[in-house]
Every structure is written in C-alpha cells, then in structure tokens.
Amino acid sequence: MPKDEKKIRKRRKREYTWYVEPTSPLANLILSNMLDAEETCEQVLLQDNSTRNLWRCRKHDQIALLRKNKDVKEGRDFVVYCQEGNGKIKEVSFPAIKRKARRKKEAKREARERKQLTLF
C-alpha cells in the first residue's frame, strides 16, 4: 500500500452517532424537550445483543448539555451510547472531571500571576 494512501486513510474524519437511554422519567422529559420526536429509536440492538429504547443525538453538544443539567446525573438518570460509522452501538462512560485538581491548578496559576505582577 503506497504511503499516500495510508495518509488519506488517517485523515478521514470518523463519524459518530450518539444515543442516550433515559432511566428516569425526568431525564426522559428533558430529552423530549431537547430533541425532536423523530429522534426516538425503539428496540435498538446493542453490542451485547440486548435491545434498548434510545434517543438519537445528532451532535455531542446535546449530550454535554444533558450532562451539565443539575437535575439529572449520568449513570443514575441516563446512559450514553455511541456508534462509530456503521458499527455496533456500545455504552460509553465519560471520565469524571476532577474539579479539586483543576481548582488547585487554577489557584496556583493565579498566585504565580499575582506574584509576577507585584514584582514589577
């Protein structure tokens, strides 16, 4: 296989389809307000050969909005699934954000900036 063809393969953008399974009535209500009724997918076959009723999200931003909602929590109120291209749909777990570590880094950076400002 020529090198140029390998480069072209690497450059191809992967297409993902995101799905959400609400496990609480509140999450289902929020999803129904965010998405169109056309985005419901009934009896979808997953990678583990089980079937679920899912909501299709065209953009990952919609899932990000749902995750930011304080009334629902991922894992308790909804489960996120992803499909790459025409592959099988599989469950996705997002790593928890370590907010304390982030705040410490931000505080240290701000302290350094303040220290530099006072030196001049």
Each residue's pLDDT tens digit, 1-34: 555 565 555 556 778 888 888 888 888 888 888 8
- For residue 6, tell me if it sits in a domain: no
- Per-residue burial over 33-52, b = 16 or more CB atoms within 10 Å of its CB, e = otherwise: ebbeeebeeeebebeeeeeb
Task: Judge whether 83 and 19 are in contact, CB under 8 Å.
Answer: yes
For residue 38, the enclosing domain spans: 12-119
Q: Cα separation of 57 and 41, whole Å?
A: 11
What total of structural domains would you count in the chain? 1
- Please, how many CA atoms are within 13 Å of residue 45, restricted to the half-sphere of its CB? 4
Average pLDDT, the chain: 77
Identify the pLDDT of residue 95.
Answer: 60
Query: Strand pairing partners for 36?
Result: none
Q: Does residue 29 lie in a domain region?
A: yes
For the chain, the residue count is 120
Question: For 43-64, what is each residue's pLDDT tens digit?
Answer: 887 888 888 888 888 777 777 7
Q: CA triplet 76, 78, 82: central angle to 5 degrees? A: 130
